[in-house]
C-alpha cells in the first residue's frame, strides 16, 4: 500500500515490508495517538495489539489484519515469548507489522524487550513513543505531574515486578524520602503494602492521593483519597484496573484543575477532609 497519509508538507516514514514498528497508542482516547501512530495504522498489513488498545483506535487500520496479543493471567512470561516470536514470524513473512501497545511502548510495557529480540533477529524496527498513562491519564484528571511551586520531580514505579509481587528491588525508603510525586502503575493489587511501606518510611498518611481508572476513556473514574486511606477506599469503591495511583501534594491541584468537571459545569470536587487514619 502506498503511503496515503494525508498531511501536507511532511515526508511521512514508509513502512517497509518485513519491518516491525513498535508503537504506543496512548492511554485510551484516540485523540491522544501521535501522527506517527496514525501513519503506521494506515500502512500496516498486520496490527498486533494489547488489551488496553481500544477498538476505536484499531478502526483506523481497516486494511490491516488484527491480532490480539493481550496477556491473560497464568504465564505472562511464556506468553510474552510467544508474542515476540509471532512478531518475528510475521516480519519474516514480509508483512508490514505494527506492534501497538497501550501508553508508551518503553514505559512498563516490555517494549524494550520486544525491540531487543527483533533487532537481534535482524529485523528493521521503528519505535513510536506514545503518551503514557502516568502523565496523560493524570492530566485528564486535572493532576499535573510537576508544578513549579509544588513539586519539581516525579517518580514512576510499577506496583509489581516480573513475579507479580511488589518489587523487592525497589528502594521504597528512598522513594518515600526522595520523590515528591509518586506515580504507580499496576498498583491496585498491592496498594496496601505499598502505602504501608511509604508511611513506614516517613510519608504522612494524610498526604493527598488519587486513583485514576480507565483514564482518558469514557469510563474514566477518579477516586480522591489519602495515602493512609487508599487501600480501604479502593476496596470500598470496587474500582478495577487499569488504574494509575498517584501520591503527593500535587494531587491537591486537581481541586482547581478538574477541567472535565468544569467543562460540564460542575464545580471541581473538593478533596475529602484530611482526617488522620
Ligand atoms: N505502557 C503503558 C503501561 C503499561 S502497564 C503506558 O505507558 O501507559 C499497564 C498499566 O498502565 C495498568 O495496569 C495501569 O496502571 C496503567 N494504565 C494504562 N492505561 C491506563 C488507563 N487508561 N487508565 C489508568 N491506568 C492505565
> Can 274 be counted among the known catalytic residues?
no
**Do 144 and 257 contact (CB within 8 A), yes or no?**
yes
Q: For position 272, what pLDDT does the model report?
A: 56
Q: Is the CB of 26 under 6 A from ligand 1?
A: no
252 in the same domain as 147: yes
Q: Is the CB of 185 under 6 A from ligand 1?
A: yes
Burial class (CB in 10 A: 0-12, 13-18, 19+), 226: buried
Residue 14 lies in a domain: no
24 in the same domain as 122: yes
Catalytic choice (29, 45, 181, 186): 186
Burial class (CB in 10 A: 0-12, 13-18, 19+), 236: exposed
Q: Please give the residue range of the domain that contains residue 23.
A: 19-131
From 52, 135, 139, give the residue whose CB has the most ligand 1 atoms within 8 Å, as the site to mutate: 52
160 in the same domain as 109: no
- Beta carbons within 10 angstroms of residue 15's beta carbon: 23
- The CA distance from 111 to 96, in Å, is 18
pLDDT in tens, the chain (277 residues): 445 566 666 789 999 999 999 999 999 999 999 999 999 999 999 999 999 999 999 999 999 999 999 655 455 555 788 899 999 999 999 999 999 999 999 999 899 999 999 999 999 999 999 999 999 999 999 999 999 999 999 999 999 877 777 777 788 999 999 999 999 999 999 999 999 999 999 999 999 999 999 999 999 999 999 999 999 999 999 999 999 999 999 999 999 999 998 888 877 666 655 443 3
Q: For position 71, what pLDDT does the model report?
A: 58
For residue 244, give the H/E element and its range. Answer: strand 243-247
Structural domains counted in the chain: 2
Q: For position 1, what pLDDT does the model report?
A: 47
Residue 268 lies in a domain: no
- The CA distance from 167 to 187, in Å, is 11
CATH at 121: 3.40.1010.10
156 in the same domain as 126: no
Residue 55 lies in a domain: yes
From 27, 57, 182, 189, give the residue whose CB has the most ligand 1 atoms within 8 Å, as the site to mutate: 27
Q: Is the CB of 28 under 6 A from ligand 1?
A: yes
Q: Is the CB of 137 under 6 A from ligand 1?
A: yes
Catalytic choice (29, 50, 104, 224): 50
* Ligand 1 atom index nearest CA of 212: 24
230, 235, 239, 241 alpha-carbon torsion, rounded to 10°: 80
32 in the same domain as 43: yes
Nearest CA among 243, 247, 244 for reference residue 201: 247
Q: Is the CB of 156 under 6 A from ligand 1?
A: no
Residue listed under C-alpha cell 524494550 = 112
User: 191-200 and 230-237 are packed helices; what angle lies between their axes, rounded to 10 degrees?
Assistant: 160
Contacts of 263 (CB under 8 A, 6+ apart): none
CATH at 254: 3.30.950.10
Q: For position 269, what pLDDT does the model report?
A: 63
What's this model's pTM, rounded to 2 decimal places? 0.91
Residue 7 lies in a domain: no
Amino acid at each position: 500500500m502506498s503511503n496515503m497519509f494525508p498531511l501536507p508538507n511532511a515526508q511521512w516514514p514508509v513502512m517497509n515490508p518485513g519491518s516491525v514498528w513498535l508503537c504506543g497508542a496512548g492511554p485510551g482516547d484516540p485523540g491522544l495517538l501521535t501522527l506517527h501512530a496514525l501513519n503506521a495504522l494506515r500502512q500496516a498489513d498486520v496490527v498486533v495489539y494489547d488489551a488496553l488498545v481500544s477498538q476505536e483506535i484499531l478502526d483506523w487500520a481497516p486494511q490491516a489484519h488484527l491480532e490480539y496479543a493481550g496477556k491473560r493471567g497464568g504465564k505472562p512470561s511464556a506468553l510474552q515469548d510467544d508474542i515476540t516470536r509471532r512478531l518475528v514470524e510475521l516480519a519474516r513473512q514480509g508483512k508490514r507489522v505494527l506492534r501497538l501497545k497501550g501508553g508508551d511502548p518503553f514505559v512498563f510495557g516490555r517494549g524494550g524487550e520486544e525491540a531487543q529480540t527483533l533487532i537481534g533477529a535482524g529485523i528493521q524496527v521503528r519505535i513510536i513513543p506514545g503518551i503514557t498513562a502516568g502523565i496523560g491519564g493524570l492530566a485528564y484528571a486535572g493532576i499535573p505531574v510537576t508544578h513549579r511551586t509544588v513539586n519539581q520531580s516525579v517518580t514512576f514505579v510499577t506496583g509489581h515486578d516480573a513475579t507479580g509481587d511488589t518489587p523487592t528491588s525497589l528502594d521504597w525508603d528512598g522513594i518515600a524520602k526522595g520523590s515528591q510525586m509518586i506515580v504507580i502503575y499496576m498498583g491496585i493489587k498491592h496498594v496496601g503494602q505499598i502505602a504501608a511501606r511509604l508511611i513506614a518510611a516517613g510519608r504522612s498518611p494524610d498526604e493527598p492521593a488519587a486513583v485514576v481508572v480507565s483514564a482518558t476513556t469514557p469510563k474514566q473514574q477518579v477516586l480522591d483519597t489519602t495515602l493512609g486511606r487508599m487501600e480501604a477506599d479502593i476496596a470500598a469503591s470496587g474500582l478495577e484496573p487499569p488504574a494509575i495511583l498517584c501520591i503527593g501534594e500535587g494531587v491537591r491541584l486537581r481541586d482547581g484543575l478538574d477541567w472535565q468537571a468544569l467543562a460540564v459545569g460542575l464545580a471541581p470536587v473538593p478533596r475529602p477532609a484530611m482526617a488522620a487514619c
